[in-house]
Amino acid sequence: MKIALVSPYDYAYPGGVANHIRHLHEHFTEAGHDVRVITPSSLPEEGLDSRQVIVCGRPFSVPANGSIARIALSLRLSKRVKQVLADEQFDVIHLHEPLVPTLPITVLRFSTATNVATFHAAHDRSLPYMYTWRILKRWFRKLDGKIAVSRAAEAFVSQYFPGYYNIIPNGIDLDVFRPDLEPLPELMDGKLNILFVGRFEKRKGLRFLVRAYARIKAEMPNTRLVIVGPDGGAKAAYQKSIQRAGLEDVVFTGFVPNDILPRYYRSAHVFCAPNTGQESQGIILLEALACGTPVVATNIDGFATVITHGEEGLLVPPEDAEKLALALVHLLADAGLRERLAAQGMQTAQRYTWKRVAAQVLSYYERLHQAKLTSGPPKPRPSRLRRLTGMLPGLRSRRTATDAKP
């Protein structure tokens, strides 16, 4: 099959959707399919793999759900998209976050291929969807198949666009995240390491972990908090609060590339994810599990799909620093429990290999594409005026009588 993977986000900037697409591209290509990525990019095609990546639009930074989305906002993408679709003649077009403006919607508008979508996000609500769902449902109807990465993601999007969603999760690269890697020597000095990985956004819950660590340090002085993540402007505020509390052994690493990140997981005695919500699945949990690191996480919908309390890790209520501290102390003080949770976690991670995920997605493509070929082209929808007149019996009968005249 000839497959297009469409991203609304800047492909030159690291992110969960871009990472997801890269892995699907790799495995689809290995399976013998002809695959292209259609995406906005702050780099020209020459800075990417121009044979595999088709750049459509320049991204702009837009605040979105407590983060920053780098998306193409141009209303003049139509000409470029029409030309790409005419030249490439895709069998399947897979749109990630298909209703994010403007590239995926433009592709949907002109696509005659089998259209598949993956919905990644899981929020409590969406103001853009609340105000635009009546407009967006026109493009939603063009989807032949819909994927959600978790039940949490399905529950979120179904509020506005109900229907059947095939649950196919994000994957984990077990060649990168694995338990046989060497820990970082600078962290192997006898201290018990608590690891946090994430951006300094409110929903990541770092402030609750810092409060919990103050309690932990008082009870277990031989501990260290390692914070991995890009600055984003909030680092200074956290450093000030840590200094005011007189906390020692707090390490800010800054951004860590993916080839080094697994060694941080291997250096941690416990991985902590204190997020407050808006997580669809929890890739960071899978990364930790794959490296053999036990987890303490908040009991939010996206995390509960990966972690079962007492099996791969411990779950605590969100925004509760006291219970977070108790769970961390419990796990840090019990090496046998850490080993048992780590062993189960590595088994769980095996269910999320990218090879397995890609095979599920390809199987779904094939079913949808065959069904579309069998059913033929869709019938055109009647115009709005025709639908309205069809609802009025008097007008309908007069139209019928008029149409019957020779």
The pLDDT value recorded for residue 236 is 83
Q: Is the pLDDT of residue 257 over 50?
A: yes
Q: Quick one: what percent of the chain has pLDDT higher than 70?
A: 89
Q: Tell me the pLDDT band of 48, cut-offs 50, 70 and 90.
A: low
The pLDDT value recorded for residue 341 is 97
- DSSP β-bridge partners for residue 62: 69
Residues 6+ apart with CB under 8 A from 274: 196, 204, 205, 206, 208, 209, 212, 297, 298, 318, 324
Fold designation for 185-352: Rossmann fold (3.40.50)
Q: Is the pLDDT of residue 404 over 50?
A: no
Residue with more model confidence, 101 or 317: 317
Q: Tell me the pLDDT band of 392, cut-offs 50, 70 and 90.
A: low
The pLDDT value recorded for residue 86 is 97
Q: Tell me the pLDDT band of 400, cut-offs 50, 70 and 90.
A: very low
Q: Is the pLDDT of residue 196 over 60?
A: yes
Segment 72-97 mean pLDDT: 93
The domains spanning 2-171+355-375 and 185-352 adopt the same CATH topology? yes
Closest CA to 136 of 115, 111, 161: 161
CA distance 357 to 377: 29
Q: Tell me the pLDDT band of 53, cut-offs 50, 70 and 90.
A: very high
Residues 6+ apart with CB under 8 A from 224: 187, 191, 192, 193, 194, 249, 250, 251
Q: Is the pLDDT of residue 136 over 80?
A: yes
The pLDDT value recorded for residue 285 is 95
CA distance 358 to 363: 9
The pLDDT value recorded for residue 379 is 64
Segment 167-189 mean pLDDT: 95
pLDDT tens-digit profile of 319-352?
999 999 999 999 999 999 999 999 999 999 999 9
Q: Is 69 helix (H, G, I), strand (E, B) or coil?
A: strand
Closest CA to 230 of 10, 14, 33, 18: 14
Closest CA to 128 of 63, 61, 75: 63
> Where do the H-state alpha helices sit in 37-195?
78-88, 103-110, 127-140, 151-158
Domain boundaries, the chain: 2-171+355-375, 185-352
Q: Is the pLDDT of residue 47 over 80?
A: no
pLDDT tens-digit profile of 15-40?
889 999 999 999 999 999 999 999 99
CA distance 36 to 50: 10
- Range with lowest mean pLDDT among 5-19, 54-68, 260-274, 312-326: 54-68
Fold designation for 2-171+355-375: Rossmann fold (3.40.50)
Segment 146-175 mean pLDDT: 94
> What is the CA 325 to chain-centroid distance, rounded?
28
Please provide the average confidence, as pLDDT, over all residues in the chain.
89
Residue with more model confidence, 59 or 314: 314
CA distance 263 to 11: 26
The pLDDT value recorded for residue 94 is 99
pLDDT tens-digit profile of 291-324?
999 999 999 988 988 999 999 999 999 999 999 9
The pLDDT value recorded for residue 406 is 42
Segment 58-73 mean pLDDT: 77
DSSP secondary structure letters along 330-363 = HHHT-HHHHHHHHHHHHHHHGGGBHHHHHHHHHH
pTM of the model: 0.83
Closest CA to 95 of 79, 81, 115, 112: 115
Q: Is the pLDDT of residue 395 over 90?
A: no
CA distance 108 to 95: 8
